[in-house]
Amino acid sequence: MLNVESNFTWLDWGIVAGYLSVTVVIGIYVNRFIGNMADYVVAGRSLGTFIGVATMTGTELGLVTVMYAAQKGFTGGFAAFHIGLAAGVVSLIVGLTGFIVVPLRRMKVMTIPEFYGKRFGNGVRVYGALLLAGAGILNMGMFLKAGAIFVTALTGLNDPFYVQVVMTVLIVLVLVYTILGGMVSVVITDYLQFIVLSFGMLLACFFAVRNLGWDSITKTVSTVHGQAGFSPLDSEGFGPSYIVWMLFVAGLVSCAVWQTAVMRSCAAENEQVVRRLYIWSSIGFLVRFLLPQFLGICALAYFWHTSEGRAVLFTSEGLPIDDAELTMSALPLFLSQVLPAGLIGVIGAGMLAAFMSTHDSYLLCWASVLVEDVAGPLSKGRLSTAARLMLARVFIFLIGLFLLVWSLWYPLGQDLWDYMAVTGAIYFIGATALLVFGIYWKRASRAGAYLALTSGLLAVLGLDPIKNAVGLDRLEKSLGFNLSEAHIGLFATAAAIVLMVVGSLLLPDRCPSDMSKQESTT
């Protein structure tokens, strides 16, 4: 990491400590309003449009989002904006059509595997839930490390030992907050975070442009990335296959298939609120990528023009260094240089609150899936409400311990966003096939569902350590072709669709489920 002096002062530490103390107190206070799993998981299905938009945007615009989006701006230039554009446009289309999310709200499910059970039976529900929870937990496996890198770089704690200390402190805070408050505390603090972080990010962009100048930013992108820094179609940059992959991942999956986003539609008051939620949230899905990506581009321009920054963050050929942890640190290091004291504390506090918001939403999500869709069906409905709440809290604690160990152990060999897309694909590739065909095709069968879910496991080949272990890197060299995460993900997605259709036609269900008897528009 760069050894630079941060503008972070004792005033900023006080702002951060005060803000985080308030959020933890809220989590403890709202525990009195938790009466059952519906309160704990979907806030009693009482979210209106405005609060729903704020809480969805608040969760999706988390510290981790800022870190991986800024990293993509640093390593990809302005061409990375296509990711946010895909997210915004597809979310708007989902809101206008109600695709997937309205039928799920109509069925009053709390989790996507619950839909699997109603449509394909309990066996598919349990299998799908295990894949969902496993993929989701791996997906957030680098959240702690990203948060710790942000804190240490922003505050000037440059010793690597502090990264481990900060990870431990952060997970303790998150576990206390989430275990006590559930979704009610998530909704309340997401609203506060939405306001603080929105203004903070806009102010950060203002200071970045004022310090660097627009011409310096664009010229640096042109110098470092060339045409690939402006056109996502350029084969030296992202390329067409990556764009298609992002339309699927950042677009459809992030708003209509990923469980933490779908939880918001399930918590909405009614179907009309669901549609409005996605229509207005499309702006948030767009902005949550564009603002941090732009700040990542500003960090690129800033450090390119400093001798130490160019030596550490760039190769001798002038390209961003192929070190995921170093390129992740570029944004907080940049903010520590250009933001004044006081404001840096406000933004730091907002980012840490965003970190907690994302963690509590994800921890709550995966724990509820394990309780409602694995333990519940296996116990054949014998678990009491008190037992379910207790089991959810135990799962949250165990998942938190795993995250701490994984963040310390796993060597991140690719951009954080690509790691998250690959690990998430283990679940969402099969889930997309089950949701689309299960809702809109009456002949979708249990056998097809099992095959489609299993095909998602192919996505793990997109992780660099796995790719190297099975020899795909040697195959790439022999063929002279780069087998990217996007290629592997698109292949696995096509396999899931084919297997769902072929499996359903060859092995139809003898007794159609109650869901399949309804109109395909349900």
The tens digit of pLDDT for each residue in 123-173 reads 999 999 999 999 999 998 998 899 899 989 998 887 777 888 888 888 887
Greatest Cα pair distance, the chain, in angstroms, is 70
Please count the other Cβ atoms lying within 10 Å of the Cβ belonging to residue 421: 26
pLDDT at 467 over 50: yes
Q: What is the mean pLDDT of residues 61-67?
A: 83
Span 10-214+251-313+323-373+385-414 CATH architecture: Up-down Bundle (1.20)
CA–CA separation, 81 and 72 (whole Å): 9
Name the nearest CA neighbour of 419 among 453, 455, 466. 466
Backbone angles phi, psi at 268, to 5 degrees: -70, 155
pLDDT score of 485 more than 80? yes
The CB density around residue 103, as the number of other CB atoms within 10 Å, is 22
Q: Is the pLDDT of residue 48 over 60?
A: no
pLDDT score recorded for residue 512: 58
Q: Where is average pLDDT lowest: 23-32, 42-51, 363-372?
A: 42-51
Give the tokens for residue 70: 């800024």
Closest Cα partner for 120 from 516, 432, 497? 516
Q: Residue 40: which pLDDT band, with cuts at 50, 70 and 90?
A: very low
CA 239, distance to chain mean position in Å, is: 22
Cβ-contact 508, 268 below 8 angstroms: no
| Residue 320 DSSP symbol | B
The model's pLDDT over 386-399, given as tens digits with 9 standing for 90+, comes to: 888 788 888 989 99
Q: Comparing 7-11, 169-173, 285-289, 494-498, which segment has the lowest mean pLDDT?
A: 169-173
Residues 163-203 have pLDDT tens digits of 888 888 888 877 876 766 554 555 555 666 667 777 788 88
Hey, which of 156-165, 286-295, 492-501 has the most confident mean pLDDT? 492-501
Give CA–CA dist 332/162, Å, rounded.
Answer: 15
Position 450 scores a pLDDT of: 97
Crossing angle of helices 271-304 and 259-266, rounded to 10°: 140
Instruction: Return the pLDDT at 303.
Output: 95
Higher pLDDT, 73 or 392: 73
Confidence of residue 51 (pLDDT cuts 50, 70, 90): low
Mapped onto helix, strand or coil, the DSSP state of residue 314 is strand
| Predicted model pTM | 0.86
Q: How far apart are CA 95 and CA 255, in angstroms?
A: 10
What's the confidence (pLDDT) of residue 420?
A: 93
In this structure, which amino acid lies at residue 329?
S
Q: Using pLDDT thresholds of 50, 70 and 90, give the confidence band for residue 516.
A: very low
For the chain, which residues make up each domain, given as ranges? 10-214+251-313+323-373+385-414
| The Cα angle at residue 467 between residues 464 and 473, in degrees rounded to 5 | 100
Q: 3-class DSSP state for residue 510?
A: coil
pLDDT at 308 over 70: yes
Query: What is d(CA 14, CA 192) in angstroms, rounded to the nearest whole number?
Result: 18
Q: Does 459 have pLDDT greater than 60? A: yes
pLDDT of residue 513: 56
What sections of 226-329 are H helices per DSSP?
A: 240-246, 259-266, 271-304, 307-313, 324-328
In angstroms, rounded to a whole number, what is the distance separating the alpha carbons of residues 186 and 204? Answer: 25
Characterise 441 by phi-psi region: left (phi > 0), alpha (psi -120 to 50), beta (else). Answer: beta
Token pair belonging to 272: 């009309």
Mean pLDDT of the chain: 84
Residue type at 441 in one-letter notation: W
d(CA 4, CA 222): 26
The Cα–Cα gap between 444 and 502 comes to 10
pLDDT band of residue 15 (cuts 50, 70, 90) is confident
Amino acid present at 186? V
Confidence of residue 61 (pLDDT cuts 50, 70, 90): low
CA 193 to chain centre: 17
pLDDT above 90 for 221: yes
**Which among 199, 460, 84, 145 has a CA at the least distance from the CA of 326?**
145
Q: CA–CA separation, 330 vs 73, rounded Å? A: 11
Q: Determine the Cα–Cα distance for residues 243 and 490; give it in Å rounded to an integer.
A: 11
